[in-house]
Structure 1
Amino acid sequence: MPRALVLYSGSLASTVAVKLLATGRNWKVDLLYLRTPFLNAVELVKARAQRLFPGFGFNSCGLKREYNVYWHRVVEQGVPFPCGACRSLLLFKAARIMRRKRYDLLVTGEIVGRGGLGAKDLVRLEKMVGLQGRVFRPLSAALLPPVRGDDDLWSVPKLALCGDAEEELRDLARELGIPPLEWDKLDSCPLEDEGFAARVFTLLQRGPVNLNTVWLMQFPHTFAAEEFVMVVARSPQECRELQSFFLPDDVRLYIQVPHSPLGLVRFREELSSAEIQGMLELCARIIAALGGYAPREEVKVAYRLELSNELDYLYVRPLEQEYLERLRLPRLNSEVRLVYLD
């Protein structure tokens, strides 16, 4: 009996894909939910899987190292961001599991045209992880090259869905007997905020980025140059939340007055002490500008390395608004349109 591993997120698309696979000849099917830093609804997904597919196995596995180590490399290769870059890491993990447990086929609910991924992109992703011809996407199979061992799938419908296809998916769900209560999304990805995604993409284009830095991009006021990333917390709540993000080599900046903005600056590792000192004046001017000081007013800004108790000071004038906006990363919840790379 052939064995299929299904990447199951609990979404309507992946649920319909499993139902379509189940209409074919006997397959040994296992569902796999991959937890990522952005999506981790494992208990909800498991409960849905048990309700809809009680005869199928269910496992979950986490991806964290893959994001810290490989995400930057994937972006360098021109994979569409964000959906293509994340999808490539999911396939990378699934490929390792398939080889280890000897599955014949990987099944996904991917649809041609979603997330900026065309047919060529989907084929390219499976090639990148060594799964060429072994990924079956029943929802768009008619638009894609045939998979290896297609004879075993002769009785599984091969559809031609493209793009959003929400209405078509709901019609299919009704035909396949999937209750409407099981149609809702179980989780939402923060990268759906195009401003947040654009911030992360900007940083990944410059080099490797750890997940701590990625989550810093959810603060409203973020700035970046080639030499550093800077986050400024302005409200008391933001200041409290920012405290947990400081790493030993980060620099803390603030003005010694009540309700001062708090700045976290993370410099590139290869910078010399002299280069860092030169950039600190620019960062201090950003803090002064966000502190609401007059353009020509001299402001005393305190700073220290996070692992040190030694406090030092810079006397600066607030950064000009035009320069401030050039350093500012795209705003959250914005209408920034990502350029999906071919």
Structure 2
Amino acid sequence: MSQNEKQAGVKEEKEGKRPKAVALLSGGLDSNLAIRMMLDQGVDVEAVAIKTPFCDFDCGKGCGHRVKEVADELGVKLKTVYFGEEYLRMLKNPRHGYGSGMNPCIDCRQMMYGAAKEHMEKTGADFIITGEVLFQRPMSQNNRALHIIESETGLEGKVLRPLSAKHLPPTDAERDGLIKRENMGDIRGRSRKGQLALARRFGVHEPPNAAGGCLLTDPAFSKRVEDLMAHVKDIPSINDIELLKVGRHFRLSKEAKLVVGRNKDENEIVRALAEDGKDAVLEAKDHVGPTCILRGTYDDGAIAKAASIVLRYSDAPKDARSEVTVTANGASKSIEAEPADSSWVDSLRI
């Protein structure tokens, strides 16, 4: 049977059946528009949203926290997939390395594609759609990276990127006549002019700004992740990751780290994340100041260092000794310390 006959057979088999796709939905403008373009062509769309320890719908950073709202607005079913321990294992040693920070973009996208593929097979969908734009992101949205991701997830020809489709090879959905290639987009690069024009066409009022991105692309946050990965025997816990998101962090030794809350809200989070039998919680006894966690293996010397840093960030007088309350293993005690010198504190900061 010739290739043309095969394609004709596929097309005949599809006749009378509405094409179905699984979309990777982030909640940002690009994936929103990609889905609208498919709905406009009569494609039945279900969405998969990915949560990781570094990009949560409820974190308020980027666009992920809008994903449920966007799915409802588009009228598409939404499945949420959470990557926890498996994501941290990948992050420890990503096969394709990191980007500018601790962002393992190619390996991360492969995990997302894998989740979309599983849902595609489960629901009998024909293909996957994403809001990726060619050359928008340097590590994961170039021709080479896109080919690697598709090839290694067994999805060659099955991933349609409507916004940039005219700059990419035809997919199975296009060759089989499920969608019209001439109606696809030709957007590329980092400019958002093309997306904003599409948003106006689809009546998207007040389109969101460009997403803030994954926390792993943030230079300061990446340093904390790198430090944590270098000082854990296996992989960090989810609690460890949540603690990275708040406070000031100080490496006191290979075994011990101090986290210092920066305001009332962070103090409450720090206290909530403290683990019995694992952490010491320190606070200035008689002065307003931060709530702090000393995590790891620590001795009296490390506690003394931590106490001096606690006083450095409190309202305690900087020219006198003050008391610090130390709570660990269900017991509390008070120790005296002098506020630490600022230059020494800065040298320990992660």
TM-score w.r.t. structure 1 length?
0.73
1:285 corresponds to: 308
- 1:309 and 2:338 correspond: no
The partner residue of 2:272 within 211, 230, 244 is 244
Q: Which runs of 5+ in 2 are unaligned?
A: 1-13
Change (3 A) 1:79 1:144: farther
- In the alignment, what sits opposite 2:146? 122
Q: Distance in 2 between matches of 1:317 and 1:253?
A: 14
Matched residue SS, 1:163:
coil
2:341 to 307, 320, 330: 320
Q: 1:189 deviation in Å?
A: 5.9
Equivalent of 1:40 in 65, 85, 93: 65
2:290 match: 261
Shift in alpha-carbon separation, 1:254–1:159, aligned structure 2, 3 A: same
Q: 1:214 aligns with which of 241, 248, 252?
A: 241
The answer to whether the Cα contact below 8 Å between 1:232 and 1:263 also exists between their aligned partners in 2 is yes
Which consecutive unaligned segments of at least 5 residues does structure 1 have? Answer: 51-56, 330-342
Using the alignment, how far apart are the partners of 1:96 and 1:217 within structure 2?
31
Query: Aligned to 1:244, what secondary structure does the other structure show?
Result: helix
Indicate how the Cα distance of structure 1 residues 109 and 199 shifts in structure 2: closer, same or farther if over 3 A, else same. Answer: same
Partners of 1:296 and 1:92 lie apart in 2 by 59
* 2:112 corresponds to 1:90: yes
Does the residue aligned with 1:40 lie in a helix, a strand or coil?
helix
Measured after TM superposition, the shift of residue 285 of structure 1 is 2.9
Select the residue among 184, 187, 204 that pairs with 2:208: 184
Distance across 2 between alignment mates of 1:132 and 1:326? 49
The corresponding residue for 1:30 is: 46
Q: Give the corresponding residue for 1:333.
A: none
Q: Deviation at 1:235? A: 4.1
Distance 1:17 1:236, change over 3 A: closer
Once residues 75 and 162 of structure 1 are traced to their aligned partners in structure 2, the CA distance between those partners, rounded to angstroms, is 32
- Residue 136 of structure 1 deviates from its aligned partner by 1.7
Q: Is the 8 A contact 2:32 2:70 kept in 1?
A: no
How far 1:178 moved relative to its partner?
A: 0.6
Deviates more, 1:247-256 or 1:157-166: 157-166
Separation (CA, whole Å) in 1 of partners of 2:22 and 2:327: 51
Q: How many residues align?
A: 310
Q: 2:193 and 2:226 mapped to 1: Cα distance?
A: 34
Q: 1:48 deviation in Å?
A: 1.5
Aligned AA (2:32): T
What SS class does the counterpart of residue 257 from structure 1 fall into? coil
In structure 2, the CA distance between the partners of 1:254 and 1:29, relative to structure 1 (3 Å rule), is closer
Specify the alignment match of 2:9 in structure 1: none
Q: 1:18 to 1:262 in 2, by over 3 A?
A: closer
Indicate if the aligned counterparts of 1:105 and 1:134 stay in contact, CA closer than 8 A.
yes
The Cα shift of 1:199 comes to 4.8
> Residues 247, 7 of structure 1: CA spacing in aligned structure 2 closer, same or farther, 3 A cutoff?
same
User: Relative to 1, partners in 2 of residues 1:254 and 1:128: Cα closer, same or farther, differing over 3 Å?
Assistant: farther
SS at match of 2:65: coil
- Cα gap change, 1:190 to 1:31, in 2 (>3 Å): closer
Q: TM-score, normalised by structure 2?
A: 0.72
Matched, 1:172 2:198: yes
Q: 1:101 — aligned with what? A: 123
- Which secondary structure state, in structure 2, belongs to the residue aligned with residue 13 of structure 1? helix
